[in-house]
Amino acid sequence: SWGGKTHFDGGDFARALAEASQTAYKGIVNPVEGTILTVLKDASKAAQEVVKNDTLVSVLEAAVKSAEDSVARTPSLLPALKEAGVVDAGGQGLYVLLDGALQFLKGESHKLQYRRPHLVVAEAALAPRAAQMPTQLETPYGYCTNFVLERQNLNLGKIEKDLKKKGQSLIVTGDDTLVRVHIHSFEPGEILKYATKLGKLHEITINNMNDQYAKFIKMQRERMPAVDIAMVTVATGNGFFELFNSLGNIIIVPGGQTMNPSVREIWQAVESAPSDNIILLPNNKNIMSATNLESMTSMWQSLVAIALPCSAAV
């Protein structure tokens, strides 16, 4: 929509959003509502509705407001978000991006460096739940493989169908001469072997996602000095956040009576702690009952975790 243009108006912006939304949906093999796709689609619709009579700023304002509302609705569309008690992170990121562009166009970009991004609150009430213990630590992440495939008369539909059987998180975009592929797989060699039969490969990258996660955990640990015993606590409210932060060497997992954190969130906090000896304050008997301690111990393997359940939330 903006190709070759030195100036653009509200109509150009609305068309760009529409094309971006259409391209995004086409590029995902199994589009899921309640994600950034939905937020982009809703923002595009809002921009289209006001584009005829409004300026670029007005069109962007409509898109930003619609994106904010759409992010708030994501837990209602995607059960996993509602269960975790969060809105979609990708949709939230898109909203922040659009809002930043709006502030710039309004001449208020100088305020952004002093302002935290506005976090959207879920529109629907999130029901309390008891955490479910997984039977194993987690499925290994595998490899993130990306490449560009070049050849005449490429069949995107067939490429999608074939690669869908070989991995997850598949994204295939492009045309009949140039295709960009993103896929998660445990056997990246098989992916590349398939692709080389179709044409020339460019910009090949293969990243071990288990290594990436390990680096993330290492970075988290390096931020805090090593201690003999670390503490992980589930807490809610700024008062308790400030209290625990003032004590030092305490990792806080946000959560309370109406928004219990998932076991995965607790596990990630424990693994990022600067010690192999952990005191865990779950703050709610539903989060970790005595019957779950054996499962939790097997999850953390070498970690020594002491869970101190309480009868009421603080």
Quick one: CA torsion of 163, 182, 79, 91, rounded to 10 degrees?
-150
Specify the higher pLDDT residue, 122 or 46: 46
Ramachandran class of 172: left when φ > 0, alpha when ψ lies in -120 to 50, beta otherwise:
beta
- At residue 147 the predicted structure's pLDDT band, cuts being 50, 70 and 90, is very high
- Three-state SS across the chain? CCCCCCCCCHHHHHHHHHHHHHHHHHHECCCCCCCHHHHHHHHHHHHHHHCCCCCHHHHHHHHHHHHHHHHHHHHHHCHHHHHHCCCCHHHHHHHHHHHHHHHHHCCCHHHHHHCCCCCCCCCCCCCCCCCCCCCCCCCCCCEEEEEEEECCCCCHHHHHHHHHCCCEEEEEEECCCEEEEEEEECCHHHHHHHHHCCCEEEEEEEEEHHHHHHHHHHHHHHCCCCCCCEEEEEECCHHHHHHHHHHCCEEEEECECCECCCHHHHHHHHHHCCCCEEEEECCCCCCCCHHHHHHHHHHHCCCEEEECCCCCCC
Chain-centroid distance of CA 247 in Å reads 30
CB < 8 Å & 24+ apart, contacts of 41-44: 42/66, 42/67, 42/69, 42/70, 43/17, 43/67, 43/70, 43/94, 43/98, 44/14, 44/17, 44/18, 44/20
Q: Packing angle between helix 89-105 and helix 56-77, nearest 10 degrees? A: 170
Residue 226 pLDDT greater than 60, yes or no: yes
Structural domains counted in the chain? 3
Whether residue 15 is found in the same domain as residue 99: yes
Contact 279, 250 (CB under 8 A): no
- Number of CB atoms found within 10 A of residue 94's CB: 22
Measure the CA–CA gap between 170 and 21, rounded to whole angstroms: 17
- The verdict on residue 63 lying in a domain is yes
Name which of 163, 198, 166, 155 is nearest 181 in CA terms. 163
- The verdict on residue 89 lying in a domain is yes
- The verdict on residue 282 lying in a domain is yes
Q: Provide the pLDDT for residue 149.
A: 94
Whether residue 76 is found in the same domain as residue 100: yes
Whether residue 109 is found in the same domain as residue 195: no
Q: Provide the pLDDT for residue 66.
A: 95
Q: Provide the pLDDT for residue 61.
A: 94
Measure the CA–CA gap between 159 and 176, rounded to whole angstroms: 11
Residue 286 pLDDT greater than 70, yes or no: no
Whether residue 107 is found in the same domain as residue 189: no
Whether residue 81 is found in the same domain as residue 37: yes
Q: Provide the pLDDT for residue 313.
A: 44
Measure the CA–CA gap between 215 and 223, rounded to whole angstroms: 12
- Percent of the chain clearing pLDDT 70 (strictly above): 68
Query: Residue 257 belongs to what domain range?
Result: 224-307
Query: What's the rounded mean pLDDT across residues 224-241?
Result: 73
Whether residue 107 is found in the same domain as residue 151: no
- The verdict on residue 3 lying in a domain is no
- At residue 68 the predicted structure's pLDDT band, cuts being 50, 70 and 90, is very high
Of the candidates 173, 189, 211, which is a domain's last residue? 211
Query: What's the rounded mean pLDDT across residues 187-201?
Result: 94
Specify the higher pLDDT residue, 4 or 191: 191
Whether residue 243 is found in the same domain as residue 205: no
Residue 17 pLDDT greater than 70, yes or no: yes
Specify the higher pLDDT residue, 159 or 230: 159
pLDDT mean across residues, the chain: 77
Whether residue 68 is found in the same domain as residue 105: yes
Query: What's the rounded mean pLDDT across residues 144-167?
Result: 92
- The verdict on residue 257 lying in a domain is yes
Whether residue 27 is found in the same domain as residue 75: yes
Of the candidates 180, 211, 242, which is a domain's last residue? 211
Q: Provide the pLDDT for residue 311.
A: 44
CATH number of 272's domain:
3.40.50
Whether residue 149 is found in the same domain as residue 108: no
Query: What's the rounded mean pLDDT across residues 148-159?
Result: 92
Q: Provide the pLDDT for residue 290.
A: 43
Q: Provide the pLDDT for residue 132.
A: 36
CATH number of 151's domain:
3.30.70
Q: Provide the pLDDT for residue 131.
A: 35
- The verdict on residue 52 lying in a domain is yes
Query: What's the rounded mean pLDDT across residues 114-136?
Result: 45
Whether residue 41 is found in the same domain as residue 105: yes
Whether residue 40 is found in the same domain as residue 101: yes
Q: Give the highest mean pLDDT range of 170-174, 250-254, 295-299.
A: 170-174
- The verdict on residue 130 lying in a domain is no
Query: What's the rounded mean pLDDT across residues 149-169?
Result: 91
- The verdict on residue 217 lying in a domain is no
Q: Provide the pLDDT for residue 203.
A: 93
Asked which of 55-59, 118-122, 186-190, 307-311 is least confident by mean pLDDT, the reply is 307-311
Specify the higher pLDDT residue, 102 or 270: 102
Specify the higher pLDDT residue, 246 or 190: 190
- At residue 138 the predicted structure's pLDDT band, cuts being 50, 70 and 90, is very low
Specify the higher pLDDT residue, 235 or 298: 235
Asked which of 59-73, 186-200, 260-274 is least confident by mean pLDDT, the reply is 260-274
